[in-house]
A = this chain, B = another copy of it.
Amino acid sequence: MPLKRSWVDSANTPEGPFPLNNLPYGVFTAGDDDEARCGVAIGEMILDMTAVEAEGLSPLDDDEVFAWGTWDLLIDAGPADWATLRGWLEAALAEGSDLADALAPLLVPMADATLHMPFTVTEYTDFYAGKHHATNVGTMFRGAENALPPNWLSIPIGYNGRASSVVVSGTPVRRPWGQVKGPDEALPRFAPSARFDIELEMGAIVGRGSEGPVSVAEADGMIFGYVLLNDWSARDIQAWEYQPLGPFQAKATATSISPWIVTRPALEPFRTSTPERERDLLPYLREPGPMLYDIDLAVDLIPEGGTATTIARTNYREMYYSSAQQLAHHASSGCPMRPGDLLGSGTISGPDRDSRGSLLELSWGGKEPVTLEGGATRSFLQDGDTVILRGHAQGDGYRIGFGTCEGIILPAIDKPAWA
């Protein structure tokens, strides 16, 4: 599929993130107006869907879907409305559209907009579904012989995270306090995390709920779209707390997502298969078709006052389990799934040293610090560091971009009097 041309000129470039083929959904404010509005990215512009609806141009039967500055109502409305809206947008923004004159005044320059959380996170689940990542981390935490847990090749291992911690790209992230204990210390201390890290992930947004087990094919159809996701992780807190019941406060400070929801239809041309199984999956986890996506990913790190270094490049196709498989497993116990549930893919690491999706892996637990442009080194994040995740699917003469997923590290708060 080639680039689809739009009457919005800036959308017709081969390297731009938001051509007509993409049409991702976000929430923005612009100018002096602090009312959050629904918007669709097209080139360097945002189509103000709240205004489109207010002018009676929305193709949906319900005329208050975009009035509240969130995509929650469209997500709740279900696949028929998802398809109706996308079909309308593709036609309305295409070169030669009759609606160009009516819609042109409803475009807002992206450069003038501030982006906000595009949907309400109902619940957040994070997975551990990248084999390179699991092998790397397992080797560091448990030794090479026990790197991959016995269940790993059978279960897309996941744990429930904290929905309240999910923030939109651009939100500063404050270094957490927590209980830590070094290997040579007899007792733990309460201290700011000294091993604060990133995890490069994709996030899948559940669009339809379930009340019982679902097949992988059904699960795929329940996914509304995808974002980039950074699961900020305090490794020193994690190492001391995670046995026996898993990560808790190590992952609770913040989880950042990119501001544009890239819908499943936009990614359709980039479907790719999970790798060959090393152990047969149980039937309830088998995929009827390709359910990963070929999405190039990169991580930039910018020290305070410095320049960006790309510290990792990888691809979403490196994952061992797809989001559809994860969702099918999530629902397998009868766990009710709901619109707005966010599923983190797990850290996406490739096989090479510079394709690892966390500083823990890049610096091999701090033993091999990463060298940045200008000569500074990093084992873990320092205050003032900015981390930027980038991602896009490369089409034939066009790209499906996600926008960036950014955050700057603020210093820990002063020690509270009672601590």
Contact = CB atoms under 8 A, between A and B. Distances in A.
Interface of A: 122-123, 128, 138, 141-142, 149, 151, 154-155, 157-165, 174, 176-179, 181, 187-190, 212-213, 215-217, 234, 237, 240-250, 252-254, 279, 282-284, 329-330, 332-338, 413, 416, 418-419
Contact of A246 (B122, B217, B244, B329): B244
Given A249-B329, A283-B419, A284-B418, A337 B187 contact: no
Nearest to A251: B333
29 contacts: A128-B245, A151-B179, A154-B188, A155-B188, A155-B241, A157-B248, A159-B160, A162-B336, A164-B336, A164-B338, A174-B334, A176-B333, A176-B334, A178-B332, A179-B282, A179-B332, A188-B282, A190-B282, A190-B284, A213-B419, A215-B416, A215-B418, A217-B418, A242-B244, A245-B247, A249-B330, A249-B335, A253-B333, A284-B418
A339 B332 CA distance: 29
A157 B168 CA distance: 29
Given A158-B248, A190-B282, A282-B419, 11 more contacts: A128-B245, A151-B188, A155-B240, A158-B245, A159-B245, A174-B334, A179-B282, A189-B282, A190-B283, A246-B247, A249-B333
Contacts of A329: 249
Contacts of A213: 177, 413, 416, 419
B245 A157 contact: yes
- Copies of this chain, complex-wide, total 2
A149 B284 contact: no
A283 B138 CA distance: 32
The winner among A141, A174, A279, A282 for most chain B CB atoms within 10 A is A282
Nearest to A419: B284
A336 B241 contact: no
Which 5 residue pairs across A and B have the least CB separation, nearest first? A246-B246, A252-B335, A160-B160, A249-B333, A176-B333
Contact of A123 (B163, B217, B283): B163
Given A151-B243, A179-B154, A283 B249 contact: no
A335 B254 CA distance: 7
A240 B152 CA distance: 10
A212 B413 contact: yes
A124 to B, nearest CB: 8
Nearest to A286: B418
Nearest to A188: B154
B151 A252 contact: no
A125 to B, nearest CB: 8
